[in-house]
Amino acid sequence: MESSNLKIDYPEGKLSEFEELMKEYKLDEASDTFFDRLGTVSVALIGLLAAFAWDHVAKELFMTFFPKTSSLGMHVLYAITLTLLVVVVSLNLPSVRHYMKFKKAIKEMGKKKEEGGSK
């Protein structure tokens, strides 16, 4: 990742006391790490907000298909349904990942064959 630190132009060989302290304590590197982590936390926060929005949509859909369920019963049935969905998705993700790696390997083998045959 590229450094996004603000650089101040000083006459050659002269640094401000602030920049000297930054270099001495390696804080210029720390600011890059801070902004990297800030970006990661920001993306996680946006993902959490999206999850809350989809949770509301899922509840409304659930209420549409099961309108006569009591409030507690609806919450229990909703929790079980979402848990089962998460389990199914979690169990299938490694298979999808393996399939994508396999597909990529086959594609690379085909490219190598074409390169070998064209010589």
Task: Select the more confidently predicted residue: 92 or 14.
Answer: 92
Identify the three-state secondary structure at position 55.
Answer: helix
pTM greater than 0.85 (yes/no): no
Nearest in space to 21 (alpha carbons), one of 30, 34, 12, 11: 30
Q: What mean pLDDT is reported for the chain?
A: 78
- Virtual torsion, Cα 29, 35, 36, 42, nearest 10 deg: 170
**DSSP for residue 103:** H
Cα–Cα distance measured from residue 50 to residue 78, given in angstroms and rounded to the nearest whole number = 18
Task: Return all residues near 1 (Cβ < 8 A) that are at least 6 apart.
Answer: 32, 36
Listed by start position, the domains of the chain span 1-65, 68-119
pLDDT digits (tens, 9 = 90+) for 7-23: 656 555 566 777 777 77
pLDDT digits (tens, 9 = 90+) for 31-48: 677 778 888 898 889 989
Q: Which amino acid is at 78?
A: Y
- Reported residue count of the chain is 119
* CA angle in degrees (0–180, nearest 5) for 87-95-113: 165
